[in-house]
């Protein structure tokens, strides 16, 4: 059984924990998109791990991991996470696969990201994602597939350096080359072609892990305030390098909404109201530490994401954060009365709220009412509810 897990908002829905939990029902967790811009915090109970690149597999249960060609690999981050994996889980015996067609983020991409974001003001994570994707489609980037051939990598880096002069940036080709060759030595045992990846995953139960969220998808998200890849479920096949047959698409959403970086956010709360939600939910980025913008759940946006990503079932996270709130609001439509078929003009939408009595615990009637309402309004079953921070704090509904 192949499943896909995607975030239904602007990322940070708690997918890392959900994927790690669900991975026990799968042989492999595969990542198809994103890079070190993502940050998944998993609290195993006695310790916490934050991954940026490693798929969120349960390493205690030896679930395998696969990194598709759609993932951008930052060598330094990936190497550190592999070392951490060995140290934290010395007995880990899961399979590790890395597509040779995955692209590399070079240090200079992060410099370009900083410079470009001063002009574009998207509020990126500055992890070099956009510039590495741009070099990828410009056919000027280094992939894992090149790393076994020193001459080719040097030639590619030289071309890349020439392009960087457009940004008045420079870098030391020999140093970059040494770093990449050293990186290759640490990962070459895991590297496979797309065809080998396909053959290895065929017949296995694979959980495809989305990063970011549908609203940050390059094409169906709130462009230009998006990431540079297809992080919605439409990105699975392209990001793995072969058509993937999906049996179930699971959408994860928070009981409220957050966003980091710029861009429209109809239900955003400002001042004390926003701060209360931010504090209650510890809403600070796990990659950049930036305070997240916070607001109420937005059903028109949620329904847009569910439909565009062909979501079958839902997982709600962080409802416990709202424990003790006197009232909980949900945006049920916008004042213009129109169905949300497009994200164009989202910044002009004004929310109309339904106000719910708050709940003290997730076992209360008030919370049941909230859950039933969301199921009715989305037409999708909420299959799991995450009830706390730790991995096992999740209930099947
Ligand atoms: P980039 O992916 O670093 O280029 O950033 C583009 C936009 O996506 C910015 O608004 C980022 O804050 C946002 N973004 C990227 N990755 C994540 C994530 O994992 N969680 C939340 N927002 C993200």
Are residues 224 and 324 both part of a single domain? no
Query: Mean of the pLDDT values across residues 89-99?
Result: 97
Are residues 347 and 378 both part of a single domain? yes
CA proximity to 31, closest of 73, 1, 84, 59: 73
Across the strands, what pairs with 97?
Answer: 66
Query: Mean of the pLDDT values across residues 201-224?
Result: 98
Are residues 195 and 58 both part of a single domain? yes
Q: How many helices (H) and strands (E) does the chain have?
A: 11, 18
Write out pLDDT tens, residues 270-297: 999 999 999 999 999 877 888 999 999 9
Write out pLDDT tens, residues 377-393: 999 999 999 999 999 99
Residue 228's pLDDT band, with cuts at 50, 70 and 90, is: very high
- CA of residue 25 relative to chain centroid, distance: 21
Distance CA 317, CA 213 (A): 14
Distance 254 CA to ligand 1 centre (A): 17
- To test the pocket of ligand 1, the residue of 135, 213, 216 to mutate (highest count of ligand atoms within 8 Å of its CB) is 216
**Tally of structural domains, the chain:** 3
Q: Is 356 helix (H, G, I), strand (E, B) or coil?
A: strand
- CA of residue 303 relative to chain centroid, distance: 19
Pairing of strands 248-254, 3-7: parallel
**Residue 40 annotated in active site:** yes
* Predicted pLDDT of residue 289: 85
Write out pLDDT tens, residues 130-173: 999 999 999 999 999 999 999 999 999 999 999 999 999 999 99
- To test the pocket of ligand 1, the residue of 125, 209, 257, 294 to mutate (highest count of ligand atoms within 8 Å of its CB) is 125
Which position among 26, 27, 40, 74 bears the catalytic label? Answer: 40
Are residues 45 and 111 both part of a single domain? no
Residue 248's pLDDT band, with cuts at 50, 70 and 90, is: very high
* Predicted pLDDT of residue 286: 75
* Predicted pLDDT of residue 325: 96
Residue 104's pLDDT band, with cuts at 50, 70 and 90, is: very high
- Whichever domain contains 98, its CATH number is 3.40.440.10
- Whichever domain contains 339, its CATH number is 3.90.170.10
CA atoms within 13 A on the CB side of 224: 8
Are residues 179 and 197 both part of a single domain? no
Are residues 285 and 384 both part of a single domain? yes
Locate tokens 């549908």: which residue?
214
* Residues near ligand 1 (Cβ within 6 A): 10-12, 37-39, 122-125, 127, 129-130, 211-212, 216, 225, 227-228, 260-261
- Which ligand 1 atom lies nearest to the CA of residue 229? 2
Are residues 263 and 354 both part of a single domain? yes
Evaluate if residue 316 carries a pLDDT over 80.
yes
What's this model's pTM, rounded to 2 decimal places? 0.97
Distance CA 231, CA 191 (A): 23
Evaluate if residue 57 carries a pLDDT over 80.
yes
**Residue 12 annotated in active site:** yes
- To test the pocket of ligand 1, the residue of 13, 260, 281, 293 to mutate (highest count of ligand atoms within 8 Å of its CB) is 260
Residue 224's pLDDT band, with cuts at 50, 70 and 90, is: very high
Distance CA 165, CA 154 (A): 17
- Is residue 322 classed exposed, middle or buried when 0-12, 13-18 and 19+ CB atoms within 10 A define those classes? buried
Distance CA 134, CA 366 (A): 48
CB atoms < 10 A from the CB of 358, how many?
16
Are residues 90 and 229 both part of a single domain? yes
- Whichever domain contains 169, its CATH number is 1.10.300.10
Residue 255's pLDDT band, with cuts at 50, 70 and 90, is: very high
Q: Ligand 1, atom 20: nearest CA belongs to which residue?
A: 11
Q: Ligand 1, atom 8: nearest CA belongs to which residue?
A: 227
Domain ends where: 249, 264, 288? Answer: 249
Q: Range of 177's domain?
A: 104-142+148-187
Share the mean pLDDT of the chain: 97
Distance 261 CA to ligand 1 centre (A): 7
Query: Mean of the pLDDT values across residues 90-104?
Result: 97
């Amino acid at each position: 059984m192949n499943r896909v897990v995607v975030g239904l908002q602007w990322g940070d829905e708690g997918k890392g924990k959900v994927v790690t939990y669900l991975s026990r029902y799968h042989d492999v967790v595969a990542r198809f998109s994103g890079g070190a811009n993502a940050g998944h915090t998993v609290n195993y109970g006695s310790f916490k791990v934050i991954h940026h690149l490693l798929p969120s597999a349960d390493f205690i249960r030896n679930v395998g991991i696969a990194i598709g060609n759609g993932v951008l690999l930052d060598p330094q981050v990936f190497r550190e996470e592999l070392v951490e994996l060995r140290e934290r889980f010395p007995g880990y015996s899961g399979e590790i696969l890395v597509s040779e067609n995955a692209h590399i983020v070079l240090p200079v991409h992060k410099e370009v990201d900083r410079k470009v974001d001063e002009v574009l003001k998207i509020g990126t994570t500055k992890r070099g994602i956009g510039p590495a994707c741009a070099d990828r489609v410009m056919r000027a980037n280094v992939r894992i597939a090149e790393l076994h051939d020193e001459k080719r990598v040097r030639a590619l880096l030289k071309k890349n350096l020439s392009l960087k002069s457009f940004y008045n940036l420079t870098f030391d080709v020999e140093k970059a080359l040494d770093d990449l060759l050293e990186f290759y030595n640490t990962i070459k045992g895991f590297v496979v072609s797309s065809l080998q990846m396909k053959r290895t995953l065929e017949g296995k139960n694979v959980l495809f892990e989305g990063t970011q969220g549908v609203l940050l998808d390059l094409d169906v998200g709130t462009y230009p305030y998006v990431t540079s890849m297809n992080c919605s479920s439409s990105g699975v096949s392209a990001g793995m390098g072969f058509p993937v047959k999906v049996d179930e698409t699971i959408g994860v959403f928070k009981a409220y909404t957050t966003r980091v970086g710029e861009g429209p956010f109809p239900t955003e709360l400002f001042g004390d109201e926003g701060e209360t939600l931010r504090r209650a939910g510890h809403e600070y980025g796990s990659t950049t530490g930036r305070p997240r913008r916070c607001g109420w759940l937005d059903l028109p946006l949620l329904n847009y994401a569910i439909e565009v990503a062909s979501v079958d079932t839902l997982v709600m996270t962080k409802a416990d954060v709202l424990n003790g709130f006197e009232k909980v609001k949900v945006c049920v439509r916008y004042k213009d009365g129109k169905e949300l078929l497009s994200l164009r003009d989202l910044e002009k939408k004004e929310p109309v709220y339904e106000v719910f009595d708050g709940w003290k615990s997730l076992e209360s009637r008030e919370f049941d009412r909230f859950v039933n309402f969301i199921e009715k309004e989305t037409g999708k079953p909420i299959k799991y509810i995450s009830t706390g921070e730790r991995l096992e704090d999740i209930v099947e509904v």
